[in-house]
Structure 1
Amino acid sequence: MSSHEPVVVVVDAETPGNVGTIARAMKNFGLSDLKLVDPPPLEPDGEAYGFAGHAREDVLPNAEEITFEEVVSTYHTVGCTAITGEDSRRHRRFPYTTPAELADSLGSVEAKTAIVFGREGRGLYNEEIEQLDQICSIPASDDYSVLNLGQAATIVLYELRELTVEETQLPDRDHERAEEADIERFYDYFAEFLDAQRYNERKREKTQRLMRRLIGRAHPTGREIHTLFGVLRQATDQLDHRRELLERYDEPDPFGDDSEDGSDKTEGDPET
């Protein structure tokens, strides 16, 4: 995580609601320092505070007015724009990074950084872009690539969350694969299950290999593999018990071996 929390700068916003939306996104993703260049009036009972959610308690009231020149002279600057240069010959807006790439690059930057957003509709002017250090653009549909100012800020700040958020509300997603010995025991149980239902010997090897590939890709947890143990164990015991009853009363086995003349081949059988 970067030692410097990025500052968010909004240049010449036209509507207070977008400033409030950006403040809320900052609160969501662990940022607190909002700078405003030529902002609209932000009344405590107005649209900005209405859109800010809990950011009305700190981020928005603590926002500071600043000039564009002060931003450029004080911070490593990243300008966010929907319009980019198409190649290196148009270097005013080129090269550019996506928000995800920006997070990677800023992770190693030990400098005070400002993420700069422009006006609704018009964005940042070329003469402003020329003074900034980096360009960031959100990949969007070629048919309609311009996002609402609040939406664009939310997307960019979301991608920066690994630099700004120590802990989220989501539980730990670390996935601990079951012990290999337990996974091998599962394959043994599966083999016993095939025995209990007298699975066709000609298909057996391929079916067991298919199951091994499936479990290998799934990376089951210990709890998951033990649940599967229980399912197979119970199914195998029930099949064995039913067969004992049939043998005791000399009844034909409905789960007997498939015929050996090839008539068992059915649509969808693996590798047959």
Structure 2
Amino acid sequence: MTDTHSSSNGSDASAPDHRTPPAVAVVDAKFSGNVGTIARAMKNFGFSDLLLVDPPELDPDGEAYGFAGHAREDVLPNATELSFDELVSSYHTIGCTAVTNEDDRSHIRFPFSTPAELADRLPTVDAPTALVFGRERVGLTNEELARIDEICSIPANEEYPVLNLGQAATVTLYELRSLALEADETQLPDVDRVRASEQTIDRVYDQWSELLETINHPPEKREKTMRMLRRIYGRADLTEREANSLLGLVRRAAERPAERD
């Protein structure tokens, strides 16, 4: 773990570079396993810069490394330890809290953004940024929040909005993953669907029309049934493979009455 206490002398060399994605700061965590869980979530969603204020002992044979998964190889051992003063003076800070004020009579916890809203706005912030998570039981204190630049809160059930530390960090980092990962850097294939050609879709409709005639579907209902099928397939955006599979099924269904005869 890197310790900035020995190198922080006010020089420009010690200041972090402007960066996106933001760093992730954990303040005064009591359980090392939570630090490991956050490191793992960072690895999952493309974040790498872990900052620790008054951290617990992070034994390579302990829970932190046990919970970190592959983040034990880079995110966790490369974490930087710093003071809260250094954190708020060096970064544009976003304090993450479950408990917010209801209105603008106090600005300690208000106004606030959701993680999804931050994902849209943070790329415009021309400064190194840090997401700041607090203690397991009490989170960030009002005194700490008063020194933080802005507030983030996860929308949750008003009857029980409090998430544990690892959950809160995981949800927030998931929502902000677009700041750290390009679409082609995830394990998911290209999500764009390539719609079947209109010629193939028309063949599906022709096949359905033939089937309705073959099974003696009431003539007065056929137009309405075909309109319904067009609406269904229009919303579905069938791929070429899906359309061809349907062609085979409907064709086979049309052949069965003839086979019985």
Answer whether TM exceeds 0.5 for this pair.
yes
2:171 maps to 1:182: no
Note the alpha carbon deviations across 1:24-76, whole angstroms, 9 max, x for none: 11111111111111111111212211211111111111111111111111111
The CA RMSD measured in Å over matched residues stands at 1.6
Residue 142 of structure 1 corresponds to 158
Report 1:3-22 matches (<5 A).
4-22=20-38
Is the Cα–Cα contact under 8 Å of residues 14 and 120 in structure 1 kept in the other structure? yes
How many Å separate the matches in 2 of 1:197 and 1:144? 56
Could you say what secondary structure the match of 2:124 adopts? coil
Could you say what secondary structure the match of 1:21 adopts? helix
2:127 maps to 1:111: yes
Pick the aligned partner of 2:250 from 206, 209, 232. Answer: 232
Note the alpha carbon deviations across 1:158-189, whole angstroms, 9 max, x for none: 11111112311122211111112221221111
Pick the aligned partner of 1:206 from 186, 209, 224. Answer: 224
Give 1:17 deviation, angstroms.
1.1
How many Å separate the matches in 2 of 1:200 and 1:212? 18
2:96 maps to 1:80: yes
How many Å separate the matches in 2 of 1:3 and 1:122? 29
Residue 102 of structure 1 corresponds to 118
Is the Cα–Cα contact under 8 Å of residues 4 and 110 in structure 1 kept in the other structure? no
Could you say what secondary structure the match of 1:86 adopts? coil
Give 1:241 deviation, angstroms.
4.5
Residue 149 of structure 2 corresponds to 133
- Residue type at the aligned position of 2:48: S
- Residue type at the aligned position of 2:200: D
How many Å separate the matches in 1 of 2:232 and 2:162? 43
Residue 5 of structure 2 corresponds to none
How many Å separate the matches in 1 of 2:103 and 2:65? 41
Larger Rg: 1
Note the alpha carbon deviations across 1:191-241, whole angstroms, 9 max, x for none: 111111222112111111111111111111111111111112222233334
Residue 26 of structure 1 corresponds to 42
Is the Cα–Cα contact under 8 Å of residues 20 and 123 in structure 2 kept in the other structure? no
How many Å separate the matches in 2 of 1:190 and 1:16? 62
How many Å separate the matches in 2 of 1:241 and 1:15? 71
Pick the aligned partner of 1:120 from 136, 140, 149. Answer: 136
Residue 222 of structure 1 corresponds to 240
Say how many residue pairs are matched. Answer: 242
Identity among equivalent pairs (%): 62
Note the alpha carbon deviations across 1:73-101, whole angstroms, 9 max, x for none: 11111100011011112221111111111
* TM superposition outliers: structure 1 runs of 4+ over 3 Å: none
- Residue type at the aligned position of 2:62: G
Residue 264 of structure 1 corresponds to none
The 10-residue stretch of structure 1 (147-156 or 104-113) with the greater mean CA deviation from structure 2: 104-113
Give 1:134 deviation, angstroms.
1.4
- Residue type at the aligned position of 1:78: I
Which ranges of structure 2 fall in alignment gaps of 5 or more residues?
A: 1-17
Which ranges of structure 1 fall in alignment gaps of 5 or more residues?
A: 246-272
Report 1:23-62 matches (<5 A).
23-62=39-78
How many Å separate the matches in 2 of 1:235 and 1:43? 66
- Residue type at the aligned position of 1:135: I
